[in-house]
Amino acid sequence: MKEILKNLNKAFENKVRLGIMSALIVNDYLDFNTLKDLLDVTDGNLASHLKSLEKSGYIKVSKEFIGRKPNTKYSVCDEGKVAFKKHIKAIEKLLH
């Protein structure tokens, strides 16, 4: 039991962060507004959760310009993929 609990990742306990990771893992990348629509959260809320995932090294951010508008794209890093899979495995073990 302790072993399983160790594998549960604190970073994914929050609903918004869990949502961000789920969406990014099945897409090559998503921009800020798409994520906002998918998750139905405010700009500030989404931005702070994205920041924390970026700090943990789970997602990467790339900024581009479409015309003059900045467009921020988010994608999941290898490290994020591994961590997320581990987290899901831990949940599944816990429920079995």
Partner 1 sequence: MDKQKYIEDLKDIKQMMNRSSRFISLSGLSGISAGIFAIIGAYLAYQTIYADQNYLIYRQAILSFENLSTLLIIALSTLVLSIGSGIYFTTRKAKRNKQKLWDSQTKTLLINLLIPLATGGILCLTLLLKGFIGIIAPLTLIFYGLALVNASKYTLEEIRSLGIVEILLGLLGIYFIGYGLIIWTIGFGILHIVYGIIMHLKYGS
Smallest separation, CB 9 to partner 1 (Å):
11
Q: Is 80 in the site for partner 1 (CB under 8 A)?
A: no
Distance CA 30, CA 23 (A): 8
Give the interface segment with partner 1, choosing from 41-49, 65-73, 75-83, 87-95 (CB under 8 A): 87-95
Closest CA to 7 of 88, 95, 96: 88
β-pair partners for 59: 76
Smallest separation, CB 23 to partner 1 (Å):
4
Compute how many other C-beta atoms are within 10 angstroms of the C-beta atom of residue 35.
21
Task: Give whichever of 77 and 91 is closer to partner 1, judged by the CB atom.
Answer: 91
Q: Which residues bind partner 1 (CB under 8 A)?
A: 15, 18-19, 22-23, 25-27, 30, 34, 37-38, 88, 91-92, 94-95
